[in-house]
Chains A and B, each alone.
Chain A
Amino acid sequence: MSGWKLGRHWNLLLAVSSALVLVTVLLALFYAPVPSCSVKTANELASSMEGSRITISGFVVGLDVSDDVWLGVLYDYNLTVADFSDYARYLEAVRTGQLDGQWWTVSPVIVRVTAGGWFQANGPYLSVGAGSNVSATGVVVIMPDLTSVVLRCESGYDVVELSSPGAAGIMTAPIAQKIFYFHMPSAWVSYVGFFLTLLFGVMYLRTRDRKYDRIASSSAELGVLFATIAIATGPIWAKEEWGVYWRWDDTKLVTTFVMWLVYIGYLMLRAAVVDHSARARVSAVYGILGFVTMPMSLLSSRIAPLIQSSHPQVIASSSGSLSPEAGLTVIVAVVAFTFLFITMLIKRVEIEESEDELEELKRIVGGEE
C-alpha cells in the first residue's frame, strides 16, 4: 500500500502543477496571439472565383429580420464551384479550418437573403429559417461595394449573398478563442483518464489486485471532472464563434456528451454496488464497454468525410499550422493539465487507500474477525 504514499514529493508535484497552470493562464492571456485577420476574407475568396458558378448550402443559425433583408449565419457551407481549379483543396481547407495555415475554424459567413416581391407577399420568413439548411445556386458576382456583398447566387426568389463580417473575416470575438488553452487540455486529460480506467480495469480483472481498481475508479472520476470542464468551456467559445452554445448536428459535441454520460453511469454503478470485489469486477467490465465511446469522441472531428462536425481539428495531419506562440502555449497547457491530473490522481488513490484501510480497521475493532 505504501507505494503511492509520496508524502513530501506529492507536495512538490502539487507545487509544480499549480505553477504550470499559472504559467498557462499567463501565456494564454498575454503571450498567445489574438487570432488575427490572416485568414482570407470572403472577399478575397470571391475575387478568385469571379464568374464561377456556385452552389452554396449550409446550416442557418442566427437570424435578424429587418424590412426586406433577412440575415442568417451560415455554417458548414459548401461551395460547389464549377471551373474553380483548386476547389478540392479549398473545400478541405474550409473543412479543417486551415484556410491560410491557421488552425481555428473559419468564421461564420453572413448570408444575406433578399427576397423581392415574394418576400413582401409572404411575411418576414423566407423558405429558410434558423435551424434549416439552405441551398442556392448562382454565379459569383463581385459587387462594387466590397465591404458587404461578395458572392451572389440566385435560387428561385431568393438571392443569397455571402459577405464578410468586417475586415478580418474570422473570429468576431477573438478573445473567446483563448478558452481553447483550457478546453483542449481538459478534454485531453479526460481521454487519458478514461483510457486509464480501461487499462487498470483490465489489469484488475487479470490480477484481482485491489490497487488497480482504485486507480481505475480514481481516473474515471477525474476523467468525468475534466470532461465536464471541457464540455462547459466549449459552449462559451461556440457561442462566440458559431453563434449558438450547442449544436446537436455536430458529431464531436454529441459523442463527447454521450461519453460523459457513460462515465457518469460508471460512477453511479460503483456507488450502487456495496461489495468491494463485485464493485471492482462489474465496473471494470463496464469500463471496457464504455470505452467504446471514447474513440468515437476523440476521432469524430478527424474522420469528417464520414460524419458531420465543424469542431476544429487541433492537431492537423498535414502542415504544422499553429503559430509558434500559440503552439508553445498549447504545449505548456497540455503539460500543465497532465501534471495536474497526475497530482490529483495520486491524491485520490491515496484517499481511496485510506478509506479501505479505515474500513479494515473498523472491521478488526468490531471484532468480526
Chain B
Amino acid sequence: MRAALAIAMKDLRSELRAKEMVSAMFLFSLLIVLAFRFGFDESVTAGSVDLPDLAAAALWVCFSFAAIVGMHSSFAKEKDRETLEGLMLCPVERSELFLGKVISNMVLVFIVDVLSIAFFALFFAYDYGGNTLSVVAIAIMGTLTLVLVGTLVAAISVNTKAREVLLPILLIPLIAFSVIMPSVTLTGDAIAGTATESVREIASIAGFAVIFGVIGYLTADYVFEG
C-alpha cells in the first residue's frame, strides 16, 4: 500500500507541475456542459426541461468522458515518455502499481467532477435542490467504480494501435450498467433528497467496485508486462 501511495504521489506531483491532464479534463468537461447548455438552450430558456433529470444525465456523461480522457493520458503519457518501463522496473508489485494509478486517477477525476458540478450549476443557474453535497458524495462513489474499471481498461488499451478510440469502446459498455445507470438514478434521487432510500443502486455501485477492484488487483500482473 505504501508503494501504491508513492506512485500516486509521484503522479500527482508531476501533474501539479505540468497541469496537463487536469487542464485537458477541465476544458473537456467545460465543453461537455457547454454542449448540453447549447443543446437544451430553447427548453432551458422556456423552462420546459426537467432540470434534475438533465443535471443527473449531463453530469454523468461529463464525468465518464472526462475520466476517459484523464485515465487514457495517465498511461499514454507514461508510454510515450517510456517511463512505463521504468515504473515496471521498480521493485513493486504490479497490483500496487495498479492501485497507485487508481488513487491518482481518482483524485484527478474527482477534482474534475467537482468542477463539472460547479459548471453545471453556473451555466444552468441550478442549485441541485440544495443538495449539492449529496450530489458530490454520489460523484465520489460512482467515480470510484468508474476509475477502478477504467484504469484497468486504460492499461489494456494503451498497448494498442488505436488507443484513444479503443478506450471508450472497451470501457463504455462495461460502465453502462455498473456506473452510469445507477449513478444517474442516484444523482436524481440525491437532488430530490431521497438518495439514502435507493439501497439497490448504492449496493450495485459498491458491488461492481468490489468486482472490478478484485479483477484489477488480480490481473495487474498480466496487464503491466513487457
B177/A293 in contact, CB under 8 A: yes
The A250-267 residues at the B interface (CB cut-off 8 A) are 254-255, 258-259, 261-262, 265
A282 CA to B178 CA, complexed, in Å: 21
B87 contacts which chain A residues (CB < 8 A)? none
Check if B61 is an interface residue, CB within 8 A of chain A. no
Check if A292 is an interface residue, CB within 8 A of chain B. yes
A285/B156 in contact, CB under 8 A: yes
Partner of B153, one of A272, A286, A292, A306: A286
Q: At the interface, is chain A mostly helix, strand, loop or mixed?
A: helix
Classify chain B: how many residues form its interface, as a range.
20 to 34
A265 CA to B166 CA, complexed, in Å: 8
Check if A278 is an interface residue, CB within 8 A of chain B. yes
A296 contacts which chain B residues (CB < 8 A)? 177
Would you give the shortest CB distance from B158 to chain A, in whole angstroms?
A: 10
The A237-284 residues at the B interface (CB cut-off 8 A) are 254-255, 258-259, 261-262, 265, 268-269, 272-274, 277-278, 281-282, 284
A286/B166 in contact, CB under 8 A: no
Question: Which B positions have Cβ atoms within 8 angstroms of A?
Answer: 149, 152-153, 156-157, 159-163, 166, 169-170, 172-174, 176-178, 200, 208, 211-212, 215, 219, 222-223, 225-226
B173/A286 in contact, CB under 8 A: no
B153/A258 in contact, CB under 8 A: no
B219/A258 in contact, CB under 8 A: no
Q: What is the chain A residue whose CB lies nearest that of B181?
A: A254
9 A-B pairs with C-beta separation under 8 A: A259-B173, A262-B174, A272-B161, A282-B156, A286-B153, A286-B170, A289-B212, A292-B174, A306-B200
B173/A262 in contact, CB under 8 A: yes
Check if A72 is an interface residue, CB within 8 A of chain B. no
Name the residue in B149, B159, B161, B172 with the highest tally of chain A Cβ atoms < 10 Å from its Cβ: B159
Would you give the shortest CB distance from A220 to chain B, in whole angstroms?
A: 13
Q: What is the chain A residue whose CB lies nearest that of B162?
A: A272
The A165-216 residues at the B interface (CB cut-off 8 A) are 205
A293/B174 in contact, CB under 8 A: yes
B161 contacts which chain A residues (CB < 8 A)? 272-274
A274 CA to B160 CA, complexed, in Å: 8
| 6 more CB-based (< 8 A) A-B contacts, given A205-B222, A268-B166 | A258-B173, A269-B170, A285-B222, A293-B173, A296-B177, A306-B200
B219/A285 in contact, CB under 8 A: yes
A293 CA to B178 CA, complexed, in Å: 9
B153 contacts which chain A residues (CB < 8 A)? 286, 289
A265/B169 in contact, CB under 8 A: yes
B225 contacts which chain A residues (CB < 8 A)? 281
Check if A288 is an interface residue, CB within 8 A of chain B. yes
Partner of A273, one of B149, B159, B169, B223: B159
A248 CA to B174 CA, complexed, in Å: 17
Check if A35 is an interface residue, CB within 8 A of chain B. no
A254 CA to B222 CA, complexed, in Å: 31
A292 CA to B211 CA, complexed, in Å: 8
Check if A290 is an interface residue, CB within 8 A of chain B. yes
Q: What is the chain A residue whose CB lies nearest that of B160?
A: A272
A288 contacts which chain B residues (CB < 8 A)? 215, 219
Would you give the shortest CB distance from A233 to chain B, in whole angstroms?
A: 21
Q: Evaluate whether A290 and B174 lie within 8 angstroms (CB atoms) in the complex, with A273-B161, A281-B222 already known.
A: yes
B173 contacts which chain A residues (CB < 8 A)? 258-259, 261-262, 265, 290, 293
A278 contacts which chain B residues (CB < 8 A)? 159, 226
